[in-house]
Amino acid sequence: MYYEEPYRKHSPRRRERRRATPGGCLAHLALRLFALLLALIIFTVGLLYALPVSLFAVEPEDNQLSLTDGLPASRANILLLGLDMTRENSQRSDAVLIASIGYSQLRLTSILRDTLVNIPGHGSGKLNAAYAHGGPELVMRTLNEAFDLNLMHYLAVDFTALVGLVDALGGVEVNVTEAEMTRINQNLDAARSQFESMGYTAPLLTQCGENTRLNGVQALYYARIRKLDSDFMRASRQRALLEAMLKKLRANLWNPALIVRFFQALSRSVDTNLSLVEFLSLGEKVLLAGAPEQMRLPVENSYTDDGANLTITDRQANIDAFRIFAYD
């Protein structure tokens, strides 16, 4: 027998609406703003990296730099100066380098400070004296005339400021020989009180060998060793220190605290005529490039050395060597 269940009228269930709490709204808004900010940062970083270096080759209006025409625009050549500000009446550029920057490429060229050059308006003299006579602009003009370059941008850092930059990175690792360790410690003994009065620690180096950790003061005196061997080796150590700093910075791109600390130290210690856009765009290219290739001027068999001065005897050999190195 078929039985039909009587019809029952069911009242529809009412869906309960969740009331949004003020905290939930704020969290959702904060999340959306964070995502928008992150996207904006990524877009800006990509845009800055994409800017071609040729955009930075615009000659200054008041051009007194003796720029050489016709050089390729595929590289930006930036003058790097390490300054000795401890001299009472004279500031000399005891480290002179050129950073040649392109996409995925960084090349460092040291120019030895004892090289005799014509300093416009001051006659013949050592390269490191040009800064004392006319600052970075005169150094650029001197090098442009000596080696047919097109330098128009520079970064200058006082050697004592280098201490803060290395400490901001948490130290760097370089290869140190036993003889270099001895020389570093001798210099530290003589200058410890000076740096400790500035708030820096200056412990003696107790080990040497491959990947020796140096703090800021130790790194400074590593870069300034000269009496141990020659200015050629001194320039090589300066390039090695720059490479170690760059390596440490690249390895910590994930560490925002270290990056902020480093760039704060950089902003306090660097003198430059690069605009913020130029600095950031070229800086990105440097960070994303491979290990820097290195060379120095004058090249072999193009100069004479009397123990105090390097006199160039083959100017064209140096011009050619740099162009091959910097521009392939």
Whole-number average pLDDT of the chain:
85
pLDDT tops 80 at residue 23: no
Torsion angle in degrees (nearest 10) through CA of 119, 125, 126, 130: -30
**Helix spans in the chain (H):** 22-50, 130-147, 159-168, 178-197, 216-223, 231-251, 256-269, 276-287, 315-327
In this structure, the strands spanning 123-126 and 310-312 are: unpaired
Residues 6 or more apart in contact with residue 32 via CB below 8 angstroms: none
Note the pLDDT tens digit of each residue in 27-86. 767 777 767 766 766 666 666 666 777 777 777 766 789 999 888 888 899 999 988 765
Which one is predicted more confidently, 25 or 292?
292
State percent of the chain over pLDDT 90.
45
Core vs surface per residue 108-128: b (16+ CB within 10 A) or e: bbbbbbbbbbebbeeeebbbb
Question: pLDDT digit string (tens) for 247-265?
Answer: 999 999 888 899 889 988 8
Those residues whose C-beta lies under 8 Å from the C-beta of residue 79, and which sit 6 or more positions away, are 96, 97, 98, 136, 139, 140, 143, 151, 153, 154, 155
pLDDT of residue 89: 47
3-state helix, strand, coil in the chain (%, to 5): 45, 20, 35
Closest CA to 292 of 224, 233, 219, 239: 239
**Is 311 exposed, middle or buried, given 0-12, 13-18 or 19+ CB atoms closer than 10 A?**
middle
H helices, E strands: number in the chain = 9, 12
Condensed to tens digits (0 to 9), the pLDDT of residues 88-139 reads 445 778 889 999 998 888 999 999 999 999 999 999 999 999 999 999 999 9
pLDDT digits (tens, 9 = 90+) for 178-224: 999 999 999 888 888 788 888 887 888 998 999 999 999 999 999 98
Angle at 198 between CA 128 and CA 261, to 5 degrees: 85
